Structure 1
Amino acid sequence: MLPSSAASSPPAPPPSPWDDVSWAESTSSTVLQHYNSLPKKGKPQGRESTVLAAFLLSTPQQDPRNLTVLSLATGTKCLGAARLNHHGDLVHDAHAEVVARRALLRLIYTEIGRSGASDWLVASGEKWKLRDGYHLHLYITQIPCGVMPVPPSPSELLREQLDSVNGCDDVGFVQRKPGRGDTTLSMSCFDKITRWSVVGIQGALLSHILEPLYLSTITIGQSPTGASDGFSVENNIKKVLDARLSSLSSKLLLPFKLNKPLFYEAPIPPKEFQQTSGDLQPLTCG
């Protein structure tokens, strides 16, 4: 007979289908192959660089590393506060992650409006949802703006230490996107990823007809200059996200939940997605 402590302990969770050293490489190569298949127009030239982001889909019928690119975008810019208007005819935020999500939402509307059945969405009562066994993933060529770096420390890092990171008194503070000149009012990409981890990526309008869609993994390209000592994508960014979500666990109503995606570090992306350094002024692709 098992000891009471062993009998009452919950079973170990099944291993993630993405816990594999080749997952990050497969994700980045799939996105970059798709990007390279697109026309040259609009891509960085010479010393120009940009950020690339893509949403991908994995299915249960095939190798989880055999991914499909659903949407893809590049971009590093957003409008300053002085240029905003209330007519709805300007794109305020054109960072890659945000534009890629916007494209994904257009695809979702198309899938729901199809005359035939969607390959990856299915009707569920009065709403639609992602088919069972299908998962959404995000790839970004660099760390999203707004990530507050966590200093190297043991896993039992005190809350007080986390709260004072990057000059902030509370990890719950929302950060604005960095900008040159006119200050922006757009939330940082990491703040938006945090929001997607609570209410889903589908947005308010689609929530009327679609159950929340959450990311299973986020894969981020390594910096060509290397990370600061003790910093890792898998551990540190996850730690910051977990800290920011911890205060929300008792405030959510169904069907929303706290979703904690797995983080992976991909190989260094091609030169056109690297921020130039040195004496030359970096140029961002329009």
Structure 2
Amino acid sequence: MFALFLAFLFFPNPISIAIALIGANLPDFDHDIKKINLYKMEIIGLLFFIILYIAKLPYFIGIILCILPIIFYYSNHRGFTHSLLGIIILSILIFCVVVMAVNILSPFLNSFDLMNMGNGIFPFNLLAMSLIVIILAVLTLNKKIIAPFLLLFLLGMLFLPEGFLRFLLPFYNDIYRYIYSIVFLNYLNNVYFDYLQFIFNYKYYMIAIFIFLPLFLGFFSHLILDALTPAGIKLFAPFSSKKFHKKFALLSLVLISILFFTILAILNWNLIFA
């Protein structure tokens, strides 16, 4: 619930809220009771790798899905996956999976456009992202909350404002090209010039804002709650075993509150002087 509250404050749209909730549930995959989920994820990753490799599609998704359970398996409970470095790495990996999966699914859905959905306000890349969110939810969330999660998520997507649909997702092909080329060092002509354009293009930042940041916020909300427990968290693992407790949690809440009111003030200022 804490992750949902934070996500709603900063990212009031169903995709970002759902991704934040998924991120909030992932750190505890390092617990022994979650080992069966890790085995399932490893098998799914191997299947994706084989299928995508045979189909001559980007198989890096399968590699990441195989790496993720390994990270959780070898991390002690409240160890690396409950550290600042850990949640950054996990957020980046899952972000890459989402972006690449959208670009693989969108053309596939386009080829089966029997109801002309892609010509309306619900584009294929958004439909692809919805399917990816659902798959991640089934793999990561507690079985008791999957049904209400899916119901609320689908209702949220159906009533999502049209402006959001047209603004959020036209740039996935470009960001995917850079992720894939950087990962495999498969640089294109004039890649450095293109990369500078990529860095300074605010539209790419918007993709990170709606996907990567909610995911990271979900992870971070989990750390805050665990810091309030007597066991605490090893925030800088594996470099330091020092545990952080209530002071870190309270400081984090203060900083999040300051950030929220700062963003709110900037938005109001822009509305007044626009």
Fold shared, TM-score > 0.5 on shorter chain: no
Q: Which has the higher contact order (CA 8 A, sep 6+)?
A: 2
Going by fraction, where is helix more abundant, 1 or 2? Answer: 2
